[in-house]
Amino acid sequence: MTFQRARSEEQKEARRRAILDTTAAMLEEMPVAEVSLNELSRRVGLAKSNVLRYFESREAVLLELLDDFLGTWLAGLAEELTAAIEPSAAPEARADQLADILSRSLGARPVLCDLFGAQGGVLERNISVEVAKRHKRSSLARLEAMTGLLRRHLPELGDAAQQFCLMILITAGALSSYVPAPPTLLAAYAEEPDLGVLNVDLQDALQMAFTSALVGVLPRA
């Protein structure tokens, strides 16, 4: 697409949205590490200098997109948990149901997990203090919303709920770096099946990690 100069606030917001939407489309084709400002500029139809008028860096674009994706995920997660968790079930049963829903929901969103994985080590490294504060304020608000959501279905988490939520997001990001396995590894697993135990399935790995974490934070009877 091509743009004329944005003059009104509505036009500027449309320009920002176009940049974010284009980045989201790129993430359906490539991992976060391969998203470049040059390619983004080409696809959105703007000079790189013009993209930088709206976002100070590639990382700032991706952090805002992470917040968008996280908000959308949490809205859907609220419905998934309400439908799947039995309020009258014992705490251990609800914990199992919670781990199952979280792992399936995040496992179906590899782009969101990839963004989590890049957040601390890459995306937060090339931003200004103002962008950092805005990003962290938004992240804290999302974390508090997630904490309230999980405590609604598993109040036994108590004060450990917020830390558990934070660990969920960090774990999803860390595990996502192993999937999908590159072609060379898939070929190695095919030639030596015994090596296949090292081939990570994201959803299975998330469920094991979340279940183990819940066992650790739930109060003992």
Question: pLDDT per residue over 91-106, tens digit each?
Answer: 999 999 999 999 999 9
Question: pLDDT per residue over 195-207, tens digit each?
Answer: 999 999 999 999 9
Residue 49 clears pLDDT 50, i.e. is over it: yes
Cα separation, 109 vs 103, whole angstroms: 10
Residue 85 clears pLDDT 50, i.e. is over it: yes
Evaluate whether 116 touches 170 at the Cβ level (below 8 Å). Answer: yes
Residue burial 29-53, b: 16+ Cβ < 10 Å; e: rest: eebbeebeeeebbeebebeeebbbe
Cα separation, 140 vs 130, whole angstroms: 15
Question: pLDDT per residue over 131-164, tens digit each?
Answer: 999 999 999 999 999 999 999 999 999 999 999 9
